[in-house]
Amino acid sequence: MNSLDPNMVRVIIDASYLLVAFLFIIGLKQMSSPVTARRGIVWAGFGMLLAVLVSFAYPGMSHYELILAGIGVGGALAWITGKRVAMTDMPQMIALYNGFGGGAAAAIGAVELFANSGEMSTVTLVLAIVGSIIGAISFGGSLIAFGKLQGLIKKTVRFSGLQFINMLLLLGSLMCGVMVAFGIHADSNTVALLFVLSLILGLTMTLPIGGADMPVVISLYNALTGLAVAFEGFVLQNAAMIIAGTVVGSAGTLLTQLMAKAMNRSLGNVLFSGFGDSGGAVAATGDVQGSMKPIEANDVGVMMAFAQKVIIVPGYGMAVAQAQHKVWELTQLLQEKGVMMKFAIHPVAGRMPGHMNVLLAEAGVPYDIIADLDEINAEFETADVALIIGANDVVNPVARNDKSSPIYGMPILNADKAKNVIVIKRGQGAGFSGIENALFYLDNTRMLYGDGQAAVAQLIQAVKAV
Amino acid sequence: MTGMLALYIFMLAAFTGYEVIARVPVILHTPLMSGSNFVHGIVLVGAMVALGHAQSTLGLIIGFIGVVLAAGNAVGGYVVTERMLEMFKSSGQNKKKEAH
């Protein structure tokens, strides 16, 4: 090893990083189709392994024992928690790991700013500072997102002056950044203050955001962490970090927009106003005509067994009731009887876009009978039965035709167009957003009251008895 | 690497990220977010270099925390993404599994 020219080592490292960037991009590309997705993450995993191994050969490195210990501790903790986490808890776990990444980017910025801020060019300094601020915000924000989804933080803290305080915090950390960048009082106190203010901003920015908006927030912090990593990559002159961070930054921004659009909210609206604040008042609007008509499980069983086509619309309520395995059992029974079965998934079903697909996949439902909103909406008219389990707002037709409704304009699943609509529901209350669901009062709708899992079990018995 | 060259890399990578994700079906959004979360675990490389070059005690402490967090990001992101993607099966694959 000693005989190797340091320049040669640098060339080998850079060439390896090029290969790493290639593996990451190919991996992400393959993750965009369910057929190749599994292979994609394995390719990206090899890229990560290669990147870590060659980085040990970086010129001028020491403290190898600390590096190995750090990787061991962080890696082992993440490995154990990642293997154990239930699929329903996936969103908060992703938030937590993402926060770690942001924290790490901020830590790199801190090491560089405390040690070398005198030697860096202004451009490098600015990038190190911006990366640090973004990383610290993402760290703090992701921790709150984790705490909220995990149920550790139950209250949604919100008071009128909060946005003003957030503004002050942002201005404060930017001011510290400017001072460090241009060498005005650029001592370690200013650097430390910069990190403290950004971290608090991350916390206070996320505290007032409700649980329903968390997917958008997690996705936003994912993109932000990517950007922070890219900026710190500039500082360290590390091409793999620049490319991987930027790819995640832009991909994450696109994902965030898609999610916000699916929820009919703008990003600014999610970050700066509270949804569900006016829940009580909202419920009072929207006049609904007709009445809810109950039905017995046996009748539903007969109806479905003799149907040509049944579309199941699952919502997060199904996952809460842990009914997905029973639902798949019911689906298989009906398939054996020659019924064409489909699942219709709204983009925001679950606690994160695509979360419902993961939960169904866990129960064993193959992805080719699961359709998203654009694919399935034209098919409801040809369906004999639409079975709604634990979904509410995403099938509420007022989103299509009542301009006064707060969810007006939100894309919904057109379950009301099916010949028969069966809604499995615990009680008669309004939905998560407090808005009355006009679907429940339609002439072709029947309500099957009961706990999700128990109701589906009754349906299985009923179909078996036919 | 000059600043200008770095800007070129930044721009091209941004377009690449956008294009790679643009055609992703909604069913894969959760694993994809977790997959991209894994990809920025590359921050581990930077944290290693920062710790490896740290000279002060403060630098060592912050650098060590950075490596721990980054390793958590990389390993955790990989494990959960792999677990989720492992479960996605088509009807054909399901039948094959039952036949075995």
ipTM of the complex: 0.92
- The whole-angstrom separation of Cα A368 and Cα A19 is 34
Structure-token pair, residue A181:
């960048």
**A353-368 confidence digits (pLDDT tens):** 788 899 999 999 999 9
CA dihedral B69, A240, B29, A219 (to 10 degrees): 50
| pLDDT, position A276 | 40
Q: What angle do CA B50, B51, B53 make, to 5 degrees?
A: 70
Q: Which among B16, B52, B58 is the nearest to A63, CB-wise?
A: B52
Identity of the amino acid at B40: H
Query: Which of A13, A26, A108 has the most B C-beta neighbours within 10 Å, making it the best mutation to test the interface with B?
Result: A108
Please give the average per-residue pLDDT across B12-17, as a whole number: 93
B5 shares contact with chain A (CB less than 8 Å) = no
Lowest mean pLDDT among A122-136, A165-179, A399-413: A399-413
Tokens 């006009």 appear where?
A: A438
Q: Which of A211, A208, A206, A205 is nearest to A263 (CA)?
A: A211
**A409-445 confidence digits (pLDDT tens):** 888 999 999 999 999 988 766 555 667 888 988 989 9
* Partner-chain contact A245 B75, CB within 8 Å: no
pLDDT at B80 over 50: yes
B100 shares contact with chain A (CB less than 8 Å) = no
Q: What residue in B sits closest to A53 (Cα-Cα)?
A: B45
Q: Which of A213, A372, A393, A416 is catalytic?
A: A393
**Cα B81 from chain centre:** 10
Helix (H, G, I), strand (E, B) or coil at A311: strand
| pLDDT, position A275 | 44
Terminal-to-terminal C-alpha distance of chain B: 55
The band of A278, judged by pLDDT with boundaries at 50, 70 and 90, is very low
B2 shares contact with chain A (CB less than 8 Å) = no
Segment (H or E) for A446: strand A445-449
Contacts of A233 (CB under 8 A, 6+ apart): A239, A240, A241, A242, A243, A244, A245, B46
Q: What residue in A sits closest to B39 (Cα-Cα)?
A: A244
A66 CB neighbour count, 10 Å cutoff: 18
| pLDDT, position A211 | 73
* Partner-chain contact A74 B68, CB within 8 Å: yes
Q: Which of A76, A95, A52, A190 is nearest to B47 (CA)?
A: A52
B4 shares contact with chain A (CB less than 8 Å) = no
- The whole-angstrom separation of Cα A258 and Cα A345 is 15
* Partner-chain contact A66 B67, CB within 8 Å: yes
Contacts of B24 in chain A (CB under 8 A): 31-32
Q: Which among B55, B73, B80 is the nearest to A100, CB-wise?
A: B73
- Helix B29-39, helix A6-30: angle, nearest 10: 180
Asked whether A347 and A215 are in contact (CB, 8 A), the reply is no
Decide: residue A329, CB within 10 A, 0-12 exposed, 13-18 middle, 19+ buried.
Answer: middle
- The whole-angstrom separation of Cα B91 and Cα B11 is 41
**What distance in Å separates residue B100's CA from the closest CA in chain A?**
16
- The whole-angstrom separation of Cα A156 and Cα A301 is 42
What is the share, in percent, of chain A residues with pLDDT greater than 70?
94
Contacts of B72 in chain A (CB under 8 A): 74-75, 77-78, 97, 100
Q: Which among B6, B44, B63 is the nearest to A111, CB-wise?
A: B63
| pLDDT, position A272 | 75
Identity of the amino acid at A358: V
- The whole-angstrom separation of Cα A100 and Cα B66 is 8
B51-55: long-range contacts, CB 8 A cutoff, minimum separation 24? B51/A63, B51/A66, B51/A67, B51/A70, B51/A111, B52/A58, B52/A60, B52/A61, B52/A62, B52/A63, B52/A64, B52/A67, B53/A60, B53/A61, B53/A62, B54/A63, B54/A111, B54/A115, B55/A115
Q: Which among A72, A230, A369 is the nearest to B91, CB-wise?
A: A369
Identity of the amino acid at A348: V
- The whole-angstrom separation of Cα A343 and Cα B9 is 42
- The whole-angstrom separation of Cα A280 and Cα A205 is 25
For residues A81 and A184, the model is more confident at A81
* Partner-chain contact B43 A241, CB within 8 Å: yes
**What distance in Å separates residue A466's CA from the closest CA in chain B?**
25
Contacts of A71 in chain B (CB under 8 A): 44, 48, 67, 71
A393 flagged as catalytic = yes
Tokens 């921790």 appear where?
A: A143
Q: Which of B9, B30, B99, B92 is nearest to A347 (CA)?
A: B30
Please give the average per-residue pLDDT across B25-48, as a whole number: 91
Query: What rounded mean pLDDT belongs to chain A?
Result: 88
* Partner-chain contact B41 A48, CB within 8 Å: yes
**A190-219 confidence digits (pLDDT tens):** 999 999 999 999 999 998 887 778 888 999
Please give the average per-residue pLDDT across A286-304, as a whole number: 83
pLDDT at A38 over 60: yes
- The whole-angstrom separation of Cα A62 and Cα A59 is 9
| pLDDT, position A282 | 40
* Partner-chain contact A352 B1, CB within 8 Å: no
**A149-176 confidence digits (pLDDT tens):** 888 887 777 777 888 899 999 999 999 9
Tokens 């109950």 appear where?
A: A294
Question: What phi and psi, each to the nearest 5 degrees, are found at residue A331?
Answer: -60, -45
Chain B, window 12-71: residues with a beta carbon less than 8 angstroms from a chain A beta carbon: 13-18, 20-56, 58-60, 62-71
DSSP string, A221-249: HHHHHHHHHHHHHHHHT-HHHHHHHHHHH
**A220-236 confidence digits (pLDDT tens):** 999 999 999 999 999 99
The band of A288, judged by pLDDT with boundaries at 50, 70 and 90, is low
* Partner-chain contact B74 A75, CB within 8 Å: yes
- Residue B13 zone, left/alpha/beta (φ > 0; ψ -120 to 50; rest): alpha
Query: Which of A50, A247, A352, A368 has the most B C-beta neighbours within 10 Å, making it the best mutation to test the interface with B?
Result: A247
For residues A348 and A177, the model is more confident at A177
Contacts of A358 in chain B (CB under 8 A): 30-31, 84, 87
* Partner-chain contact A107 B87, CB within 8 Å: no
Q: Helices (DSSP H) in A263-339: which residue ranges?
A: 267-272, 279-284, 297-305, 316-320, 324-336
- The counts of H helices and E strands in chain B are 5, 0
The band of A67, judged by pLDDT with boundaries at 50, 70 and 90, is very high
Helix (H, G, I), strand (E, B) or coil at A208: coil
**B18-34 confidence digits (pLDDT tens):** 998 887 777 888 898 99
Contacts of B89 in chain A (CB under 8 A): 361, 364, 366-367
Tokens 């490596």 appear where?
A: B67
What is the share, in percent, of chain A residues with pLDDT greater than 90?
57
Decide the pairing of beta strands A385-389 and A445-449: unpaired
Q: Which among B23, B26, B48 is the nearest to A67, CB-wise?
A: B48
pLDDT at A279 over 70: no
Please give the average per-residue pLDDT across A249-259, as a whole number: 87
- The whole-angstrom separation of Cα A165 and Cα B91 is 53
CA dihedral A436, A437, A438, A439 (to 10 degrees): -160
| pLDDT, position A277 | 41
CA dihedral A94, A99, A104, A108 (to 10 degrees): 140
Please give the average per-residue pLDDT across A249-276, as a whole number: 77
Decide: residue A274, CB within 10 A, 0-12 exposed, 13-18 middle, 19+ buried.
Answer: middle
B97 shares contact with chain A (CB less than 8 Å) = no
